[in-house]
Structure 1
Amino acid sequence: MVVTWPYPKFIAHRGAGTSAPENTLAAFQLGYDAGFRMFECDAKLSADGVVFLLHDATLDRTTNARGMAHTYKWDQLKELDAGSWHSKEYAGIGLATLEQLAHFCIQRNCQLNIEIKPSPGFDFITGERVAQEARRLWSGQSVPPLLTSFKRESLRGALQSAPELVRGLLMHELASDWREAVGSLQCQVVACHFPIYNHALIEQIRYLGLGSLAYTVNDADTATSLLSIGVDSIVTDNLAYAT
């Protein structure tokens, strides 16, 4: 149960939305400079078990390499160019590990939403490893990171390895068994695609003692409407929401 919501109202999507190469330290720095104090990132495993930041299952879209990300060891991944695809300004920017981002956030007193984004077939072990790393990296911090995932097995892995961390079930559409799912996975947060939310759903979420998060909201009217019905936090690409 989330007794008091410890996170800011606005969370920068993948560091700085679309304004910098997503999930890189450059993006988180830009988001921080814009005024954000909480970020969202995507985490998966390298071939040798390092937790690093990447949204896609493949490297094709956001790096100068090709193929499934989980087939590369971290020593290979850290040499890749993860910035040129975005713009010349960021050419040569590398991928980041969760450990690097944890140090960034802790040093600046920022919060983090880690989306567990497993490569195909690695749902449970990715949840397990991400939660283990989060517990280790944020040990002693007053506000732990929020772990979310669309993959229930990833949340199950996180629950098994670090039950004390805050977990949230991500849903693009409202699942008919969402109440049972958040109960069995001991989630404290419901994280939904923003059109799902209405007064009735927020009332149900609050009745269950859960927090609510909406993604990905980039216009002011929608953000205002969601906050007015009681959504706790909003993930956004819009850097203007930092101030």
Structure 2
Amino acid sequence: MFKKIYFYRARLFPALITAVPMLIFINKIIAVEFAIPLKNIYDILPLITHLGLSAAIIFLLVQINRFVAKEIFQRWYFRDELYMPTTNNLLMNNNTYYPIAIKNKIRDKILAKFQIELLSADEEQQNCDNARKLIVTAVSQIRNVLRGNEMLLQHNIEYGFWRNLIGGSLIALFFSAIIIWYGYSNNLPDQITIGLISFIVFLIPIILSKVIIRNYGKYYAKILYEEFLSLQ
């Protein structure tokens, strides 16, 4: 149940949004250039999910968006998981986001529940990467025990939606640029306008990607630890 909710909201919806330039490209450029007898979907974009070809493209984008988001943006900003907000902003000893008392409660609970002892401040300075890896391991265990938590699921969906939308925006930018180029090459003002609007719309999430991913990641991390502390 929870997996389906996450799939639809965090993976499918971003794919639907970012699929628009690719669908325009296929319908108005590929189909016209090669005389492919496809039904014109240019004027009925709200119905794209009911078309077989569109559905296949959207399913493909679900996979591509997630891959691009994780392998480019998330890896770039967080160096895999070692600098995720769950690691970098909350449990490292040199971070002051949480008061020491709260941080110690989280660390003590991790030790009691998972037998994972996080490094002290001195040990952390000597081996920062190892300290982060231990926190990453602890976080994965926390996620397992909180699986099905509705509050955490909601924040996970929000983070996943924006991360995948940003990944898909990179693909959408590429097809928007092709639409603009094709419009200029064939003197088609309508396509130039549509391509420019699409390019600007999908450029915005990429420009703001660092702020969006970090902030939503921080919201998720905060809820993760708060819900973990509330466990009996």
Per residue, is there more helix in 1 or in 2?
2
Same fold (TM over 0.5): no
TM-score (norm 2): 0.24
Greater RCO, CA 8 A, separation 6+ = 2
Per residue, is there more strand in 1 or in 2?
1
TM-score (norm 1): 0.23
